Structure 1
Amino acid sequence: MAWSHSYGYWNTISSLEKGISSTKSNPKIMPSWIIFGSGALGNALKERIGDNGLQLAAREWLDKPTDFSSQTKALFLAIPDDAIIFSVKKIMKQNITIPIFHCSGVTPLSDISFYPNSGIWYPMQSFKSNSISWKDIPVFWETNNNLLKDVLEMFHKDLQIPNGLMCTSEMRGKYHLGAVFANNFINHQIGLIKEYCDVNGIEVNFFNNMILNTIKTALEGKPFEIQTGPAHRGDKATIEKHLEMLPFDMRKIYKSISDNIAEIKLKESEL
């Protein structure tokens, strides 16, 4: 079962979730929106919604489920992908019928379509940032129930953000993969630069403007056309020197990216 794969996750966060409001609250004063999960997204949603949202310890509630009040408009699952199906089935067994939206970029709507009032609400953003501009976050949503569109409009109003874009599971998955390149991989590359500077005793701040200008220029133009560097010009001698200077784990990354740069240049020259 999906739950078994996520068991380690729930144990890891259980201590963090003890301080979160539990379902022992008086249901008559329960806020409109229920947020399952205490990760970066769950915390960000709770902070944004304020008193109109109730953040629950997902594992705690699923172990001892209680009813939601009639004031509850929807439940948002800000939990790991492999816990989504199990959680929805568990909620369904309690004869709960409120709308449920999962917040995954890759889990298709068909995985939870057995629950009639189901949908997807996926904000394409890393929520570990210190400053989040909610109005600029692309939001992709999907549901087969037209009534749930009105629910999302109310949710977006409370979040004070635009209504987002209706998007199929297939297209959302493509956006999610793009986000891995745009966010996760770029962040990792910058992390490698900082690590390289620390190991070699050089000043990392000297690279800050270069990083910012590179991203700005690439977004404004055609990145492959403005590509420079030893791999682009076929400078094998410099590449070999660089590889000798790097630790083994960074050599693999350097060589893989250099090979890809060279391959793309070759393809463009053949056009």
Structure 2
Amino acid sequence: MLKLILIGTGNISRFLFDVLVDQPDVSVVQVLGRNIQALDYFRDRAKVSSDFKAIEQADLYILAVSDEAISEVSRKLQIESGLLVHTAGSISMDALPKEMRRGVLYPLQTLSGILPEKMKDIPLCVEAGFEEDYLLLEKLARLISDRVVRITSEKRKLLHLSAVFANNFSNHLFYLSSEICEEHGVDFDLIRPLIRESCTKVMNQNPFDAQTGPARRGDQRTLEEHLGMLTSARLKEIYKVLTKSIQHTYGKEL
């Protein structure tokens, strides 16, 4: 039986708790968190505490806190043995105390609202200092996902950067699209099928080949017309930057 302690009460901690708490080979010994009200989510199914000095002993400690708090919180933990891992994409394993057994368990997915059964196809990136710790992490990770990948801190940071472009930036562009529609009294629901088709297309072909639009075509008249329609200087600048990037990528076709 793998004894596990979760440290933190946010989205990742809740998700991991829901996935693991009923696993027959896992015992969630304790959930620690500063927010007493947030601990109520776990209270009926596990022992909880807001006192970090009351931490119990376990085989694995998952530090699911904000990136900024990883180093500070990890140094407050009084762990006699066991493996301590964080769940951040952009933070090195070296943020954890070097005198501890340490590692990383990074889900390459936004977990807000995702159902546990949808997790099986989502990559879980693991890192550890020793082979025995890799094996321990992989054993746990395979209870969550079918895609478990060993990866270094450097490559994980690059994955996180790439994910920001693919997810955070694209979602912000969806938001800006909705704002343009709202400003001019157009129903954004008319755009949703296009977003769905674009996402489906990129799942089946290289994004380079999937690119369409006036910037790739070199349609200068439409580009200038679009810039004239935008009332916000900020949106104009974003449009210009993205247009130049596309033109640079496909410059030989212009």
Instruction: Specify the TM-score bucket, using the shorter chain as the normaliser.
Output: 0.7 to 0.9
Give yes or no for contact 2:7–2:64 (8 Å, CA) kept in 1: yes
Could you give the per-residue CA deviations for residues 112-161 of structure 1, whole angstroms, max 9, x where no partner exists?
Answer: 2513311111110101134451111101111112222342244235x343
Q: What residue is the counterpart of 2:69 in the other structure?
A: 83
3-state SS of 1:105 partner: coil
Give structure 2 stretches of 5+ with no counterpart. Answer: 37-48
Aligned counterparts, 1:97-246, within 5 A: 97-112=81-96, 114-132=98-116, 133-156=118-141, 159-162=143-146, 164-246=148-230
| Structure with greater strand percent | 2
Q: What residue is the counterpart of 2:4 in the other structure?
A: 33
Mark the CA change 1:65 to 1:208 in structure 2 (over 3 Å): closer, same or farther.
same
CA distance in 2, matches of 1:263, 1:149: 42
Q: Percent identity?
A: 29
CA distance in 1, matches of 2:80, 2:34: 15
Mark the CA change 1:137 to 1:223 in structure 2 (over 3 Å): closer, same or farther.
closer
Could you give the per-residue CA deviations for residues 89-131 of structure 1, whole angstroms, max 9, x where no partner exists?
Answer: 111xx35322100111121122325133111111101011344
CA distance in 2, matches of 1:199, 1:180: 27
Could you give the per-residue CA deviations for residues 16-44 of structure 1, whole angstroms, max 9, x where no partner exists?
Answer: xxxxxxxxxxxxxxx92211112211111
Could you give the per-residue CA deviations for residues 187-209 of structure 1, whole angstroms, max 9, x where no partner exists?
Answer: 22222222222222112122222
Matched pairs, number? 234
CA distance in 1, matches of 2:79, 2:105: 22
Q: What residue is the counterpart of 2:242 in the other structure?
A: 257
3-state SS of 1:79 partner: coil
Mark the CA change 1:169 to 1:213 in structure 2 (over 3 Å): closer, same or farther.
same
Mark the CA change 1:201 to 1:75 in structure 2 (over 3 Å): closer, same or farther.
same
Mark the CA change 1:74 to 1:58 in structure 2 (over 3 Å): closer, same or farther.
farther
CA distance in 2, matches of 1:109, 1:202: 47
Matched, 1:55 2:31: yes
Mark the CA change 1:172 to 1:242 in structure 2 (over 3 Å): closer, same or farther.
same
CA distance in 2, matches of 1:89, 1:149: 22
Aligned residue identity for 2:17? K
After TM superposition, give the deviation of residue 63 of structure 1 in Å.
5.7
CA distance in 2, matches of 1:134, 1:248: 41
Give yes or no for contact 2:84–2:101 (8 Å, CA) kept in 1: yes
**Which TM-score applies when normalising by structure 2?**
0.81
After TM superposition, give the deviation of residue 223 of structure 1 in Å.
3.1
Which piece of structure 1 moves more, 53-62 or 169-178? Answer: 53-62
Which piece of structure 1 moves more, 222-231 or 136-145? Answer: 222-231
After TM superposition, give the deviation of residue 64 of structure 1 in Å.
4.7
Q: What residue is the counterpart of 2:60 in the other structure?
A: 74
Which piece of structure 1 moves more, 82-91 or 222-231? Answer: 222-231
3-state SS of 1:90 partner: coil
Which piece of structure 1 moves more, 108-117 or 171-180? Answer: 108-117
**Which TM-score applies when normalising by structure 1?**
0.77
Mark the CA change 1:83 to 1:95 in structure 2 (over 3 Å): closer, same or farther.
same
